[in-house]
Amino acid sequence: MLGTAGSPTANTLSVQGIGSGTPLTVTISSIVAITSSGTVSVVSTGSFTVTSTGQLSVGSTAILTVSATGARITDGTNTAAVKAALTAPSSTDAALVVALSPNGLNTNGQATMANSAPVVLASNQSNIPVICGGNNYETVAASQSSQVLGPTGATGDYITRLVAIPATTSPGNLLLSDGSTNVITVFSGGSSSVTNLAPFMIELGLLSVSSAWKVTTGSNISAIGIGKFT
């Protein structure tokens, strides 16, 4: 219903051109719906209200905050923050909670390359150490005490494995350490501790945490240390 110019009336949609016009609350008892095919229709299953407080509500639930500069999504309490490009978010910003659609990219890891969310390293990413086996080796004769692996050895050296080479079936032990107090018995040796003289490997995959790797060999057993040694 249209009002008469110059005399705004409650619950009447008026187009005013006079200075004394008063803004009114407009209540529409229907919802304008746009279907998936693009058809615009008016349905009578609810109502929305544009109030003088600047909110658009469906029933009693506010869904938009409306102002002269635009509309912002709200739940009636929190209004989503909208910021200009290159503006960093802050911890106090109210935000929309979103997630990747399960119908799109795989959100739980890689499925196929085309259907997975990519992970990109930062442009200023520091070097990430990758150890691909051992490139260095050093032999240790029998009956040696705390022989350093590498020219000098250092904290952070990586030992992949030791190859133990017995000379009898009752060889001595093999000890590994990266400091005077961090001693690991990697092979105990002793009477009939091996059944033949074939070399055998002791897998390790360890980083030194205090100093160079050092190997101590008992009698009748030698070793080869394999890894990355300083």
- Does any domain span residue 2? yes
Pair 220, 143 in one domain? yes
Q: What's 217's domain CATH number?
A: 2.60.120
| Sequence-distant (≥ 6) Cβ neighbours of residue 41 within 8 angstroms | 32, 33, 34, 35
Pair 58, 141 in one domain? no
- Does any domain span residue 183? yes
| Sequence-distant (≥ 6) Cβ neighbours of residue 105 within 8 angstroms | 115, 116, 117
Mean pLDDT of 142-146: 96
Count up the domains in the chain and report the number: 2
- Does any domain span residue 119? no
Q: Which of 17-26, 91-100, 122-131, 138-147 has the highest mean pLDDT?
A: 138-147
Looking at residue 2, its pLDDT comes to 47
Please say whether the beta carbons of 179 and 211 come within 8 A: yes
Please tell me whether residue 18 adopts helix, strand or coil conformation.
coil
Pair 140, 214 in one domain? yes
Q: What is the pLDDT of residues 68-121, one digit of tens each?
A: 566 677 777 888 888 888 888 888 888 888 776 666 656 556 666 666 666 777
Residue 51 lies in domain: 1-83
Please say whether the beta carbons of 43 and 33 come within 8 A: yes
pTM of the model: 0.47
Pair 147, 212 in one domain? yes
Asked whether the predicted pLDDT for residue 188 surpasses 70, the reply is yes
- Does any domain span residue 122? no
From 46, 63, 83, the end of a domain falls on 83
- Does any domain span residue 97? no
